[in-house]
Structure 1
């Protein structure tokens, strides 16, 4: 007799990876997924539209004064800042609303929010601020530093007729 004939039939060893166990595991995974899956599509809030750095003139900047749901921009020493997050201060009805859509450099340097600090003629050359004293320049620098920390620079302010000025 041979060894194979001599031994009694051995019990089959069940494997964990048997087809029935794989079916049950798959069914369990599907049921867990169906139970915990998101019920509605998750919608992320919309961010603000992208802002493109561009060149402004006093005439093109004036429209960004916060009226009609437009952003609020102001310029300091030739750099245009988006101060829309501070709309309560710089937008319509705010204490600094005179500066919205304008070059605010002279008014900030003088710590004055009066209209006479603003350039009336939008076609005139930009204010070079040459007549400011040391204290006024220091005031202006502190305002500019504050704007740099809090707001995005969205453009550059140039005079009408400047080679960089946008074509009308």
Structure 2
């Protein structure tokens, strides 16, 4: 039996191939760890933000009138923390009338009229509804954290659960994008 000596080029290729395989294996393991960590971080981060139902009275407490208190605003029954926009929504600010309540109609109509400071979308035009959707997604959902939902979305006037409530049937509401 004869033993053959490997040429220097062949040894280099074998070593290089082995190094490539090790590099690839390490990269895969690192990628897997990063995926696991980022998924767990996402779960932890989302778990630390409680989803809360707000009554109209509770929401009024977050109208920007008290220093140090967060400023909340609801659109389409979704409550946003708009505190970072204090210069727009804080006490004495131009859009302060919108906070501490569900201002869906006002946002749709781009109005600060007290009669429009409501959740009611009855009678809005198609253009106003489209505007509402653009502002809801492009401004509020993109900029401000969701801290809860108005109880009106899921409760009857007497506070009992609304068994007929179907989010998918609500005007301008898409459950898949919010939960």
Is residue 146 of structure 2 the alignment partner of residue 153 of structure 1?
yes
Structure scoring higher RCO (CA < 8 A, sep ≥ 6) equals 1
State the shift of 1:164 in Å: 5.4
Which has the higher Rg, Structure 1 or Structure 2?
A: 1
The counterpart of 2:159, out of the listed 129, 146, 162, is 162
Higher helix share: 2
Q: Report the number of matched residues.
A: 109
Q: Which structure 2 residues correspond to residues 13-162 of structure 1 after superposition, within 5 A?
A: 51-68=49-66, 69-119=68-118, 127=120, 129-145=121-137, 146-159=139-152, 160-162=157-159
State the shift of 1:70 in Å: 1.1
Structure 1 alignment gaps of length 5 or more: 1-49, 120-125
* Cα shift readout 1:78-134 (whole Å, capped 9, x = no counterpart): 100000000110111111100110111000111111222124xxxxxx52x131111
Structure 2 alignment gaps of length 5 or more: 1-47, 163-179
In structure 2, distance between residues paired with 1:161 and 1:79: 21
Report the aligned-residue RMSD: 1.9
Q: Would the aligned equivalents of 1:108 and 1:140 in 2 still touch at CA under 8 Å? A: yes
Normalising to structure 1: TM-score of the pair?
Answer: 0.60
State the shift of 1:51 in Å: 4.8
State the shift of 1:52 in Å: 2.5
